[in-house]
Structure 1
Amino acid sequence: MSSNVRRTLGALATLALFVVALALAARVHLSLPAGRRAAADALEALISREIPGTMRIGAIDELRTDYVRARDVVFETPEGEEALRFRRIELDPDVRRFLREGAIATRSARIQGAVLRMIEREGEDGLGLERAFDDDDEGSGGEEQGRGVTLDLANVAFHDLDSEWRIGELPEMHLDDASGIARFYTDDQGQIAMRFDRIRGEARLPMDLRVDVERASGRIRTGWRQLGLFEMRLAVMGSEVDLDLHLVDGEGGVRPRVHSDTEPGSLAMLAMLGVELVTTVAGAPDAVQVDDDSAGPDEGAK
């Protein structure tokens, strides 16, 4: 074997040892509290650059290439109001998608304890969730440029989710102890979107009225006129009611509309709360449909 070949092999062996040592050092560093805090700070900065609001991570308790466990992950509006909080979240990262696409993606995730605030403040445009994730200056059509980072948290099983709904002049409402499956992702237009399935929980209405949500599924998309659409089955005073809940964002702000083929009398409680009711009984027109160009693309699960 020539000396040149020996020197080349020696150099490659040295380089390989250096890479292994660097990987081991990084793994040891990330296993320490200081390393996990540094990783949390870097992720906070990365995500906060991509959205109008900010993201904060209370702590990363465990960090590996195939598993992440964190606490108190919070998304805030530009005004500093909390819009979404995950008290405890476990992620199984999709490392291949990160290396191939630069996407922050998961194969699966689990959330235990969450708070979602769907609040519309006087003098502010849109719900808090919209203001945290969507920049109105970029427009709501399909011509905007996509965001720099692709987000795709798929197969998210959540438990103990509480949500607060304060929209316009409607009374305050809550959905407590909800569970189900969700996906949080960047859609084809660069907007943040959320899909929900198999939701169960209890709706808490004014006058201490309570309604069981037996089954619900739907989506929330920031940046589109039809902000949200949910299909659900409710247990109302001993009767089952199937309905569609539309959240339509227009010039007068976000307004809920309920579309159902149930007799209007069964939904009188919602009407008393100020929700616009649209039924299809006896061929009544479907007034909740919006134009395709303002509703946004109806993308399927990826």
Structure 2
Amino acid sequence: MNKLNRNDACWCGSGLKYKKCHMDQDLYLEKLSHQVGYEIPRDIIKSSEDIEGIRKASALTREILDMVEEKICAGISTEEVNKWVHEYTVAKGAYPAPLGYHGYPKSTCVSLNDVVCHGIPNENTIIKDGDIVNVDVTCILDGYYGDSNRTFMIGSVSDKARDLVETAKECLRRGIEEVKPFNTLGDIGFVINEYATSKGYSVVYDFGGHGIGNEFHEDPFVPHIGERGEGMILLPGMTFTIEPMINEGVPEVEIWEDEWTAVTADGKLSAQWEHTILVTENGYEILT
């Protein structure tokens, strides 16, 4: 980090003096860097202002998913779900982050059954009784991002589908429980993979969680398979998603010609749950 005097202009370009802006945060990062043995990038640790913005965006994302949960049912198209999400997001003064992201054409991802993630909503895909449907929502509110998804069970789902969905949710819960200062990303991946495989399922390794807050996707990458004690050390002020994708069969995926839709390589079911997480001084806060 460049050393500044207290009365210099802050490096962030705010126009404020360093002592009135990022000085305290930089001193905190310097202290943590000494503890972990390497320099921590400034953008990994969020300021209190950033955290409050991410918290508000994440609360809206949760509100949008609550709305979807109340309305989703058999007989509607995935495009109708997309319309609900788009209209609700905009009405709240926010913007749907997926829309236009690297060319993605819709405001949410809706992934049915063997679609692992990034399913593109359309008028022709009709949700049916017995389907499992993942809806992934990310909103941008006042420049901050909140990201979450849930897998909904529609009507009378099979026992195997219900068990898969519940296992994916439990994998998320166990992963979150590993979030605390000076644990590692490997601790998160370890418990997720351990539980999923104990139930006879596999964990998708081509996709993972990610840092989030000031941008849609930031460092670090959060793998859902790992070894205890390995990977980046978790520090207070980090915000990232945990979003394990659990497959009934093999962990490999294939990508459709639309260059977005990822499906299981063997055509079997997949389920996913996601939250945006803040590392606190004593553990974690689920922001979504």
What is the TM-score of this pair, normalised by structure 2?
0.24
**Structure of greater Rg:** 1
What is the TM-score of this pair, normalised by structure 1?
0.23
Q: Which has the higher strand share?
A: 1
Point out which structure has higher relative CO (alpha carbons under 8 A, 6+ apart).
2
